[in-house]
Amino acid sequence: MGERLNLPVLAETLAADNGSLIGVLTLNAEKTLNALSLSMVDLLSAQLAAWADDERIAMVLLQGAGEKAFCAGGDLHQLYSTMVDQRASGQAGDVLANDYANTFFAREYTLDYRIHTYPKPILCWGHGIVMGGGIGLMAGASYRVATEKTRLAMPETGIGLFPDVGGSWFLSRMPGGLGRFLALTGASINAADARYVGLADRVLAHADQPQVLAALRRQPWNGDRAHNHALLGAVLRATEEAGSSACAQGPLRQHRDLIDQLCGRESLEAVLAAFAGVHSDEPWLVKALAAVTRAAPGSLALTWRLQERAPRLSLAEVFRMEYGAALHCCAHGDFAEGIRALLIDKDHSPRWRSADSTGHFLDTPWPPHAHPLAGLDK
């Protein structure tokens, strides 16, 4: 039993009254805010694959251990180590040379895509911090619950990466300039704003989770996917309507008109200039705009290009595009420097390269049929 509790992902089933089962997956790395490691990705993928073929499983609940976070993003320390080793080996710039990075991003993005396309309902309970790779897990779930403590963000431009894990897809599909604003600034949003931009479906009190589970166990689950989706949706809707979990309007929505105006310009340079011209004493907005001044210029440029391309692509095509861009970031971008400054040396003084340093990061080393993620939509 002790060994099981030490696993980075806990898998269990809850029996419903009619004999069906509810699969429960818990990210079990509370000390690191459930940061997503390769072993976690592999365990989640294997269990979801097994449950997809198990007729007894009616739905899946995805949650994080502890009270602080669902998932605070990817586990960056191992990635950093392999990027340092790659540079030391004289293979800097070779996107195929870092085996760990190639494996991690391929398996992470495949897992995210599996969640988006899973044949059974998935409920993601997004309590606490949900950042980066955590949003990648949450975004594709059938139903996403945010709570009074939920804080979501995609702050990757601040560490020399870009909003990945499908971020180019779901951010570019948000209303107006909201997705572009979140992508560039990495601003944190609460439950109300998460629902406003489509990253959450319901806002519930975290204390309601036992009540939700009890109600789910009473449902007449069967083998029909649409039927089970309807049951899950009805339980969440009833819980929200009966509860007192309504959040005040979030700052993203409050500043919608200004954000649309700022982000509606034709070029990144024009948007950044507009950001710099804002004078405000509203703390959330001031913090968001200040973050852009500290972000990696190349990451901002790369993010802009990804946001421009993504609306014309399918979800699978976006993941393939992001995969190549992520490996470029690992091979010769600012990603290692951003991790060093934030997590390793913690001097918060990254030495970024110029804005045009990522100009070729959308180039792919694989022909379409040989892309490592070619099979996503097959």
Whole-angstrom CA distances from 40 to 57, 96, 137 are: 21, 23, 12
Range of the domain at 35: 2-370
Cβ neighbours, 10 Å, residue 251: 21
Buried b (16+ CB within 10 A) or exposed e, 31-51: ebbbbbbbebbbbbbebbeeb
Structure tokens at 223: 């083998």
Amino acid 243: pLDDT:
80
Give the list of residues 6+ apart from residue 210 with CB closer than 8 angstroms, or none. Answer: none
Q: Is residue 94 part of a domain?
A: yes
Number of compact structural domains in the chain: 1
Percent of the chain with pLDDT over 70: 98
Confidence of residue 6 (pLDDT cuts 50, 70, 90): confident
Tell me what the mean pLDDT of segment 47-67 comes to.
Answer: 98
- The pLDDT tens digits for 8-41 are 999 999 999 999 999 999 999 999 999 999 999 9
Amino acid 123: pLDDT:
98
CA 174 to chain centre: 15
Tell me what the mean pLDDT of segment 251-274 comes to.
Answer: 97
Q: Is residue 345 part of a domain?
A: yes
DSSP one-letter code for 86:
H
CATH number at residue 188: 3.90.226.10
State the Cα–Cα distance between residues 130 and 150, nearest whole angstrom. 7
Confidence of residue 333 (pLDDT cuts 50, 70, 90): confident
- The pLDDT tens digits for 212-257 are 999 999 999 999 999 999 999 999 999 999 986 556 789 999 999 9
Q: Is residue 378 part of a domain?
A: no
State the Cα–Cα distance between residues 258 and 97, nearest whole angstrom. 44
The candidate with the shortest Cα–Cα distance to 27, out of 106, 133, 120, 119, is 133
Mean pLDDT, the chain, whole residue set = 96
In the chain, where does DSSP find H-type helix? Answer: 2-5, 38-52, 76-88, 99-116, 133-139, 167-172, 178-185, 191-196, 209-217, 225-242, 251-254, 256-263, 268-276, 283-294, 297-309, 315-332, 335-339
158 CB-side CA count, 13 A: 21
Q: Is residue 38 part of a domain?
A: yes
Do the beta carbons of residue 23 and residue 16 sit within 8 Å?
A: no
What 3 state SS string does 13-25 have?
EEECCCCCEEEEE
State the Cα–Cα distance between residues 45 and 272, nearest whole angstrom. 39
Do the beta carbons of residue 145 and residue 204 sit within 8 Å?
A: yes
Amino acid 302: pLDDT:
98
Amino acid 378: pLDDT:
81
Could you give the angle at the alpha carbon of 35 between the alpha carbons of 320 and 61, nearest 5°?
A: 80
DSSP string, 176-208: TTHHHHHHHH---B-HHHHHHTTS-SEE--GGG
Percent of the chain with pLDDT over 90: 95
When computed from its CA atoms, the radius of gyration of the chain, rounded to whole angstroms, is 21
Q: Is residue 376 part of a domain?
A: no
Using the predicted structure, report yes or no on whether residue 3 has a pLDDT greater than 60. no
User: Which pTM value belongs to this model?
Assistant: 0.97
- The pLDDT tens digits for 98-129 are 999 999 999 999 999 999 999 999 999 999 99
Using the predicted structure, report yes or no on whether residue 355 has a pLDDT greater than 80. yes
Using the predicted structure, report yes or no on whether residue 4 has a pLDDT greater than 70. no
Q: Is residue 366 part of a domain?
A: yes
What contacts 24+ positions apart, CB below 8 Å, involve 224-228? 225/119, 225/120, 225/121, 228/58, 228/59, 228/120, 228/121
Q: Name the pairing type of β-strands 151-153 and 57-64.
A: unpaired
State the Cα–Cα distance between residues 169 and 268, nearest whole angstrom. 18
Amino acid 1: pLDDT:
46
Amino acid 363: pLDDT:
95
- The pLDDT tens digits for 169-220 are 999 999 999 999 999 999 999 999 999 999 999 999 999 999 999 999 999 9
